[in-house]
Amino acid sequence: MIGVIGLGLIGGSILRGVAARGAEVIGFDADPEVRAAARSEGFNVADSWREVVDASQLVFLATPIADTVDLIGEISSLGASAPVLTDVSSVKRPVMHAAREAGLKQFVGGHPMAGSHRAGWPAADEGLLRGAVWALVLDEQTDSGAWANVAETVLGLGARVAPVSAVAHDRAVAAVSHAAHVASAAYANSIEAVAPTPLSLVLAAGSFRDVTRVMLSPEERTAAMLIENGDDTAAVASVMSEEVSALAKALSARDEGVVAKQLASAGDLRRRYDRLIATEAMTGRLIDAPTRAELVDELRGLVDSGALVADITDVMNDGAIWRAAVLSPV
């Protein structure tokens, strides 16, 4: 049995995805209206998080990060009876610290790189996580069996697994995700000052829509995410401010060379991303090991490299050979 605590956008999508592939799953949400809505669609929904924990071998904690930290403490009081646990929080260091402080040996920090500006159970979609990159913390303290259990479940949802450390993960998502909210907010908030609406909004088109899309996310959720990763996001925002200032000076000076160089550099980064997403700039290989635990130990060598685990297989169906299919950036 797989459990999901928190049935919002991500948790609800996990519940739907697990059920769609025919696995047993049980969910819980603190909101009775959400529980009722999920039950009305035929899902197995508990009346307490404890019921989910007691019934499951693997539990996804899909609650706001502060609630996740609290749950970790409460679940740790169950001792040896606690199942394998993983979370979906966008910041990993505080969650990993809480799990280690609580002595949870079978906790695997996770973060699916998928989402939407929509929120809550109505936004949940069984296909949301298909094709997504799912970061899973794999460090020297991570239990190999627990990590493999979570990775295989995530792969079953159609995602690809990126082995990461908590520190590198938080720094990377500050740059590619969290700072995007900062940039979008600064951009949107500047419009009224320099080009008052409604004319600006009437003339707005694709660029405006793309840059401000993330501003449609619930403000409280986004603010909590940014604050939790405040130091790393602030560091990125500081560098971003310097980049904007340099471009502003070049524009004022009509320095076409500097402006073109900055645009070309940014365009190159976006094209590199497009090639990686299309796997055109990745190479595949197979890693074999005699046991699942030894295979996970092999995968520790890929941590923070950008490599993606696309599959984990018991090759002979007898546990004699375990194989991981890996895509690595070139």
pLDDT tens digits for 76-107?
988 767 899 999 999 999 999 999 999 999 99
Percent of the chain with pLDDT over 90: 85
Alpha-carbon span 17 to 315, nearest angstrom: 25
Grade residue 279 by pLDDT with cuts at 50, 70 and 90. Answer: confident
Backbone angles phi, psi at 107, to 5 degrees: -105, 135
Question: Do 14 and 86 form a contact (C-beta atoms < 8 A)?
Answer: no
Mean pLDDT of all residues in 281-291: 92
Residues 6+ apart with CB under 8 A from 296: 138, 144, 145, 147, 148
Grade residue 63 by pLDDT with cuts at 50, 70 and 90. Answer: very high
Instruction: Strand 110-112: give its sheet, edge to edge.
Output: 110-112, 133-137, 160-164, 308-314, 322-329, 282-289
The pair of three-digit structure tokens given for residue 69, joined into one six-digit string: 């930290």
The predicted model scores a pTM of 0.92
The pair of three-digit structure tokens given for residue 149, joined into one six-digit string: 């259990």
| Cα–Cα nearest to 68, from 49, 83, 47, 89 | 89
